[in-house]
Structure 1
Amino acid sequence: MYVSKIKFLLLFLVSQLFWIGAEAQTGLNSGLHFNSHEVIQDERTSLDLTPNEPLSIKEKLILDFDIRFRPGDGYYGYIFKMLGKESVPIDLVSNLASETENFWLVVGDQSVLSFYWKDLGGAIYNEWVKIKLVYTPELGEFSLSINGIEKKTTLKDFTKLKDFQLVFGSSKVPEMLNSDVCPMTLKNIRIHDADVLLRNWELKKHGNGLVYDEVKTYEAEVRFANWEIDKHIYWRKNKKIVMPGILGITSTPSSDSIFIVGLDQLKLYNTTSGEIATFSYQYGNPFPCLDNNLVYNSLTREIWSYSFDTVAINKLDLKTFKWTAAPDTCPEPDLWHHIRLYNAPENEIMTFGGYGHYTYKSNLMTLKDGANSWDSINKSSQVPPRYLSSMGWLDDQKVLIFGGYGSPSGNQGINPQHYYDLYSLDLQSKNIEKIRELKDNVPPFTPVANAILSEDKSSFYTLIHNNINYNTHLQLAEIGISKELFRVYEDSIPYNFLDTKSWAGLFLNTSKSTLIAITQSDSLVEIFQHAYPPLLKSEATQIAKGSTGITRLLYIFIVAVLIIAGIIAYRKYRKQPNPLNSTDDNPLPPTTELLGLQENKTASIILMGGLQIYDSSGTDITGQFTPTLKQLFLLIYLSSILDKKGISSELLTELLWSDKSATSARNNRNVNISKIRLLLEKLSSNLHLTHDNTFWKIEHDQTVYSDVLDSLKLVQKLKSNLKLTEVEANRLLRNSAEGSICPSVQTDWMDQFKADFTAQLLDALMIMIHRTQDHQQITRISDSILKLDPLNDEALKMKCLSLFKLGKKGQALSAYNQFCKDYSNMLGQEFEIEFSVLLNEG
């Protein structure tokens, strides 16, 4: 096996010859991350731009670069040290946490120009900042600008400095020694002499300890480098989680949230922030099936647990953390390592393949919500029986099915083999068509369950491993759909494959452009990250311009030898533990994506479906509001945004403390008002509790997101006969799909707020539904109306008609039957309009 792998890698390297020196793809991370105070002095990063000869300037020195500061690991340090003629230092120093100067330019023995964060509008962390230094030798004039804000000075004692040494970060150069490094990342360092560009270090691709400028290939030396582009090459271990009783793993469509589902609890991993939250179920539990029988319903934001032995779908509400059932048994799995998805247009679970009782399967299984049975279609005439396949979305109507391990007959004992064929499955017709098959010169492997479509849709990514071995490893592979392509990326992840005891998956966080690999073995889950799109090492290697073809071939030969040596070394030492860093499980609050907020972390007030309050860092602080504080907050806030004028102290007292004496009620009100004020300050500096001697109000600007206020603005736009954009329409539907304001708060005063707001929302939704001819959109709007008004027969009629015209007659009938059931339960009488009559009325 290893001989064939070496042959394959050599063939693969030859196919990459023409890629060497190619331009990097767009969307790649770039920059040099400087080790700062988080490491010892000897390991701090240095970038020496003049290791061989000084930089000579004739007219005017212009140095500009992009820099990104980070908090948390020391704040003081040099950005750069420059040494001019006669050993005159010109240094840019930072102290990011100082309450006085934050940046200052040192020339000779004095600080001549300084900046404060307030000069720049506040502290700027984790964003790219532009810094520009200009020195005019004839005048002795120095200019320093940060993000376009400029300060100047003229020093008559420092003229005609024209030869410079320049080092960023740590310096070992005599007369420029430094170990205090600013916590920063740099890119796009440019040096001009007046209008002439002398140097341009992009700090993207790089060599080993060297990086070349783009003008004349001048060398710069780098020590202890952390290249941002390398995140596209290497996997980094992000988390290690130990959780007994794991039943499976699933994720949201954008993979912002990944759910690790156990028998008694669930862990939610936010792939954007790296946070982990742990939740115990408030009622019930999933089916105790060990073959990952889980999907995420993106429409209802529920996790669905299923068993092939029953048609009842067990649903977890991610707001209440209650399952609809509490099953205690599950039959021995007959479909180990089947692939699965939630088919939203049909509101169904779909699975394919699997293995059990010495037999491989090729059945396409579907279960609609509320159906009486699983539908099973034997596809063995089109796709040989198998398990350990991969599935991924091709478009809205089709999915890919790739590879696996099985046998033509399905019998484990007759000619089991690896499959490298690729199919497309039409979700509506359930037809499967073969696209292509990989050629024979591939090493034996099976893919993981998930396939990720490339941006141009010409290929897909998955993780592959040799399922014959226990001590194996996962490697990222790119496989062509419409073209002949099979590319394996060099870095790997250790993986102990023990068939029914292990599982691995690949996810893509689309907002962060990050690939997430997850391995699970019994109760151990390990999570790895990799920047997207992935790169081969050769694609991130910088070769000096002007290198000859022979030099390039020599480079390829060296890379080939190194890879072969790496394979041999890996074979010998693959049982050794992986040296990548890991972090312990750190339970933190849930993600904003899960709760329907905007993707960016922002201070947020969510009322629809239940009260949820997040501060500007995305931390859930709802738990800090006691029941009394919640009611006080809701009274003032809803009075502010629905009544506009706010609420008086007298009415607050009457509604919340009517059972107390006047003095006691006043004291209670004042104490709780003070507590609310402190909580609002913690929530956002742009949110204020005000009192104008008559009314209490809570006011904020648009930096604080409010789903009710957002919805009201969209409602007003519709009522003004203005058309909503697609984004606005989706936002209003998303908000309204959550249901009424704070359904758990049951008081007379709250009922009035709910009724007023719901009436406005329903009016707006009816305007929307009558303005569109899109049956998919009509169905979504109808669902939102019925969520707010379950007995709205007009919305029912439009929903059934639209589903019928979309060819979803079964769903139309199911929607009608559910409405009739709810109608009877609520009103105690039968719904009088028959299904056929309802459709004919349309």
Structure 2
Amino acid sequence: MNKFLLLSLLTAFHCATAQLNSSGGLNFNTKDVELAHRTSLNLTGSGKLPIGKKFTLSFEMAINNPRSFGYIFRLRANEFTASLLFVQFENKDTSYLQLIINDKKIENKIPLPKRNLTKGNWFPVKLVLDRGKLNCSLSINGGPAANTKVNIKEDSQAELLFGIEWEKEEYGNLDVPKMSVRNIKILGKNDKQVHFWPLNESSGLIARDIQSGNDASVLNPNWLINNHFKFNNIARVGPFKNIIFFMAVPIIYSQAQDNFLFFTKDYYLSYDLKNQTTKKVKFASPLQHPGNIVAYNENKNKFYAYYFGRGLVSEYDEKQKAWSHVDTTGESFQHYYFHNSFINPLNGDLCMINGYGWYTYKNILQKYDFIKKKWIRLETKGDYLVPRRYAAICKKNEAGDYFIFGGEGNYSGRQEEGVKNLNDLYLLSMRDTSIRKIGEIKKMPKDFLPYSSMYYDSLKNQLFMMENSKVEGAKASKRLFCYDLSSDTFEVVSDSLNGRNSFGAPIFYSPRYSEIYAFEKVSISADSFYININSLLFPPMTEKEYNKLQKAELSFSFYNKYGIPAFIVIILILGTIVYYFHYRKKQKAEQPALHSITETIKTSKVNSIFLFGNFQVLDKNGKDITKEFSPKLKQLFLLLLTKSYNHSGRGISTDSLSAYLWPDLNLEQTKNNRNVSISKLRTILAHLGKTEIKIDRNMVELSLDENVYCDYLELCKILNSGDSIKEKIHIIKSILSRGEPFQEISYEWFDGQRVHFTEDAISRLKAAVGKNELDDLSKLALADSILFLDSVNQDGLSLKIKAYIALGDHKLARSSYEHFKREYFRLYAEEYSKPFSDFLN
């Protein structure tokens, strides 16, 4: 008991005094999500706020979408009310902050130029209620105030709410602009601060008042501090159809236009970061090749394109929507696949370096001569640059210096001498075409390959690079890393993206939004896909800082409010409870167990395989062994699993297995690779009970231990049983809610199976509706399950709307429809045409 108390006290005190990251705020979920998931912040959940003679509310806010509309906050004190409304539709170039007093708009309002309303652009807001002067004033950035006369009763107590107001039935109370808020303060007499909510939490439904302990309550929070470590998917662009999945879709970021451009040979898609809209532009004269490199000279606002192995360069004419000098040369000797291209800031030259072609890794620096229409080699001097492909490059400054990092290759450049991952860093100077080796980056993950570009922070002398998968296989981890050139440290500064990236996508930094952007492909079929745009707030947080923040969260709040004495009291109480339950354990064990009449979902923590959401495997002791699966072993495992547990259940032949996994090797090499891989996989699967890989008469079959749980097989079992799914619908929804099926698996052989599984699962779920055996809540769960599989499935939407209507919740029915429309537009870049009223008939 004494040991328990001492350990708990020391741990609590350490966590309580941990310092939190100053980058914080609360992002409000609004019309981009369903009504039930929108955000509300109630500052008076622990008690109302006295108005007194003078009451000042100040906070910082950012408008994340200038096209949104709604209430920022509402204040009520007896009969007095004050609301702040963001209005965007009255003027093309200007939005307004409209103060509403006792349900009447005041004459003066605060103008906000729309060009300044961008995500990450914070500005201070101040509301002053002066009961002595009978005045209310609103101001931003310390500028001129909008004033009006008010009459507030003495001893008034105020309620204060930001975001959606759930308790009011009027539809207007559900309108909230797409905004972020932080550093909310209440000042009283003599402008003395009496409350302060920094909103720097990272989890939970409580916002701490670090001034006086009057903690606020939050519904559906989206804590901004997490966005300094966790990537946020802000958009999905596409679909891109009839394009081979490993071919690049070049992505360009125009800082001046504030948009991303995604190029194919026939058109480009433009995504506007500010307005969050997508448009498609078809080329009057398309490019010849399906795979191209596109470079952008931002100073001249010119786009250049050429075959991604190196070829003639075409210039794009925006007015004519056409490319000039379209390259028709095709394959030729001396290609430079997977090279790095850039625009020399000193003279605007289009340059390239590195690459691979005809069994040779390259390190040649070249520039394009637009007069002679050919690439010219530039001689380099200084240190030897090891020939490579898959390297990353970024501009250091406007003086023509470039960092080049990593990739794979070897010293001679000859492929027959083998290939290795490179962790070296170089500086290329275009002033004299010299190369200087900076050194080797230490303590890097095994088989690390970067995305094709990096970002350099000159203020902190840091390089940021994304981890990438190898082209021939999937890799579960795609994180952002930071290399500090001053301290020679290399650290993880983000969580992992979910999808598979295999196309050398760049990363970009936006100084306007203080965000880093990374991209990933999401396969639809063998030749069709979407591209996800993901953002991370800058500066990012290291993994160590983020984990420390999570541990500090709960204890800091309590410590700040009550101090160490209260901690000691609580720990004593907890110790007493532990002792009590230890004393009662024997008596409790002898009591008969109560059995619920409702079947519950067992969340397996041991012997488990998860294929929905992130691929994950837990062994018989509950240890996560996912990282033991290399890309090739994961592919082998999934082949055996799906082929052994299909309708035939016979496994897969050794010839078919080799054709899937080692198509380019000769017979002897294939056999050796197959035997080694199966042996390694057997070693891993030995941790899953009696799971075996059997080989009989050239057939390879996977046999799982009967105690092994696999979410994919469990769902197939339920759907294929022919029994009623009424009692299983909650299990189905639980499985599907984990994420998209096989969301990080993008093998060409698997795409058809993925599509077949999704279509078959949706068909069986829809068939259950026709049996008229489900109540309305079960229909709602079934509709969610269908939409988990296909987010724009019209039958799923129809079922969801009708279920909500039957349950008497018209608001959530309408909200589901609006959410579906936004998702449809995001995926297809066109409006969903079917009106809401059609679903009611």
Task: Compute the TM-score of the two structures, normalised by the length of structure 1.
Answer: 0.54
Distance 1:80 1:140 in 2: 22
RMSD: 4.7
Note the alpha carbon deviations across 1:116-156, whole angstroms, 9 max, x for none: 5x5546998958573414254xx69563535511212335x
Tell me the SS of whatever aligns to 1:282. coil
Alignment partners' CA distance in 1, 2:87 and 2:294: 47
2:481 corresponds to 1:480: no
| Structure 2 residue aligned with 1:115 | 106
* Match in the other structure for 2:269: 267
In 1, Cα distance between the equivalents of 2:458 and 2:485? Answer: 12
Shift of 1:342: 2.0
Matched with 2:535 is 530
Name the SS for the 1:491 alignment partner: coil
Q: CA shift at 1:167, angstroms?
A: 3.7
What is the aligned counterpart of 1:577 among 743, 765, 770? 743
Q: Is the 8 A contact 1:287 1:314 kept in 2?
A: no
CA change 1:421–1:546 in 2 (3 A) is: farther
288 and 495 in structure 1: CA distance in 2 versus 1, 3 angstrom threshold = same
Return the match for 2:495 from 482, 486, 491.
491
d(CA) in 2 for partners of 1:18 and 1:55?
27
Structure 1 segment 117-196 matched on structure 2, within 5 A: 119-120=109-110, 126=117, 130-134=125-129, 136=131, 141=134, 143-145=136-138, 148-154=145-151, 158-161=153-156, 164-170=158-164, 180-184=173-177, 185=179, 186-195=181-190, 196=192
| Pair 1:471–1:131, CA change in 2 (3 A) | same
In 2: Cα distance, 1:35 partner to 1:295 partner? 36
- Tell me the distance in 1 between the aligned counterparts of 2:375 and 2:35: 67
Q: Is 1:324–2:318 an aligned residue pair?
A: no
Contact 1:296–1:302 (Cα < 8 Å) also in 2? yes
Q: Does residue 24 of the first structure (1) align with residue 26 of the second (2)?
A: no
Does the C-alpha gap of structure 1 residues 587 and 513 become closer, same or farther in structure 2, counting only changes over 3 Å? farther
**Whole-Å separation in 2 of the counterparts to 1:569 and 1:152:** 67
Among candidates 219, 222, 244, match of residue 226 of structure 1: 222
Q: Where does residue 282 of structure 2 map in the other structure?
A: 280
Question: Counterpart of 1:600?
Answer: none
Q: Select which of 415, 419, 422 maps to 1:416.
A: 419
Q: Any conservation in 2 of the 1:338–1:388 contact (CA below 8 Å)?
A: yes
* Residues in 2 aligned to 1:98 and 1:279: alpha-carbon distance in whole angstroms: 28
SS for the counterpart of 2:519 is strand
List aligned pairs for 1:402-481, cutoff 5 A. Answer: 402-440=405-443, 442-456=445-459, 458-467=461-470, 469-481=473-485
8 Å CA contact 1:352, 1:362 repeated in 2: yes
Q: Distance in 1 between matches of 2:55 and 2:45?
A: 19
* 1:275–1:74 CA distance, 2 compared to 1 (3 A): closer
Matches within 5 A, 1:285-684: 285-286=286-287, 288=289, 290=291, 292-306=292-306, 312-331=312-331, 334-371=335-372, 374-375=376-377, 382-395=384-397, 396-440=399-443, 442-456=445-459, 458-467=461-470, 469-497=473-501, 502-519=503-520, 523-536=528-541, 538=545, 543-544=556-557, 568=624, 576-577=742-743, 583-586=826-829
* Contact in 1 for aligned 2:254/2:260 (Cα 8 Å): no
Q: Report deviation, 1:466.
A: 3.7
Q: Which amino acid aligns with 1:431?
A: S
Letter in 2 for 1:480: D
1:64–1:190 contact (8 Å) kept in structure 2: yes
The one-letter amino acid of 2:505's match is A
The whole-number CA distance in structure 1 between the counterparts of 2:535 and 2:476 is: 19
- In 2, Cα distance between the equivalents of 1:201 and 1:18? 17
Question: Structure 1: how far apart are the matches of 2:420 and 2:278?
Answer: 39
Q: Distance in 1 between matches of 2:305 and 2:487?
A: 37
Contact 1:247 1:288 in 2 (8 A): no
Residue 239 (str. 1) matches residue 405 (str. 2)? no
Deviations along 1:561-594, one digit per CA (max 9) or x if unpaired, are: xx99999497698963378978224389xxxxxx
Gapped runs of 5+ residues in structure 1?
A: 1-16, 555-562, 589-842
- Compute the displacement of 1:316 (Å): 2.2
Which residue of 36, 39, 46 maps to 1:52?
46
Task: Using the TM superposition, give the Cα deviation of residue 423 of structure 1 relative to its aligned residue in structure 2, in angstroms.
Answer: 0.6
Cα separation, partners in 2 of 1:488 and 1:350, compared to 1, 3 Å:
same
Query: Aligned pair count?
Result: 537
Distance (Å, rounded) in 1 between the aligned partners of 2:166 and 2:280: 48
What percentage of residue pairs aligned between the two structures are identical? 18
Which amino acid is 1:92 matched to? S
Aligned residues of 2:249 and 2:262 also touching (Cα < 8 A): yes
Give the Cα–Cα distance (whole angstroms) in 2 for the partners of residues 454 and 411 of structure 1: 35
Q: 1:491 to 1:569 in 2, by over 3 A?
A: farther
Between 38-47 and 334-343, the greater mean CA deviation after superposition: 38-47
- Tell me the residue number matched to 2:56: 62
Report the counterpart of residue 802 of structure 1 in structure 2: none
SS of 2:74's equivalent in the other structure is strand
Shift of 1:260: 2.9
RCO greater where, 1 or 2, for CA within 8 Å and sep 6 or more? 2
By how many angstroms is 1:232 displaced? 3.5
Bigger shift: 471-480 or 241-250? 241-250
CA contact under 8 A between 1:452 and 1:462: conserved in structure 2? yes
Q: Which residue of 2 aligns with 1:197?
A: 193
Matched residues in 2 for 1:432 and 1:18: separation? 50
Local SS of the residue matching 1:584: helix
SS at match of 1:503: coil
Residues 250 and 296 in structure 1, CA contact (< 8 A), matched pair in contact too: no
Whole-angstrom CA distance in 2 between matches of 1:367 and 1:123: 43
Aligned partner (choices 204, 208, 233) of residue 208 of structure 1: 204
The correspondence of residues 738-817 of structure 1 with structure 2, limited to 5 A, is none
- The residue aligned with 1:642 is none
Contact 1:65 1:132 in 2 (8 A): no
- Asked whether the 8 Å contact 1:503–1:519 carries over to 2, the reply is no
Distance in 2 (CA, whole Å) between partners of 1:193 and 1:527 is 47
Distance 1:367 1:489, change over 3 A: same
> Aligned partners of 2:89, 2:341: CA distance in 1, in Å?
54
Q: Which has the larger radius of gyration?
A: 1
TM-score under structure 2 length normalisation: 0.54
Q: CA deviation at 1:354?
A: 1.8
Question: What's the offset of the Cα at 1:392?
Answer: 0.3
Q: 1:105 to 1:385 in 2, by over 3 A?
A: same
| Deviation of 1:198 (Å) | 0.3
Q: 1:809 matched to which residue of 2?
A: none
Post-superposition shift, 1:251?
A: 2.5
Query: For residues 594-622 of structure 1, what are the alpha-carbon distances to aligned partners after superposition, in whole Å with 9 as ceiling and x for unaligned?
Result: xxxxxxxxxxxxxxxxxxxxxxxxxxxxx
Per-residue deviation, 1:36: 4.8
Give 1:53 deviation, angstroms.
4.2
Q: Do the aligned partners of residues 326 and 312 (structure 1) sit closer, same or farther apart at CA in structure 2, a change above 3 Å counting?
A: closer
Q: 1:312 to 1:228 in 2, by over 3 A?
A: same
Per the TM alignment, residue 307 of structure 1 is displaced from its structure 2 partner at its CA by 5.3
Whole-angstrom distance in 1 between the partners of 2:238 and 2:182 = 35
* Conserved 8 A contact 2:400-2:431: yes
- Check conservation: 1:232, 1:534, Cα contact below 8 A: yes
SS in 1 for 2:331: coil
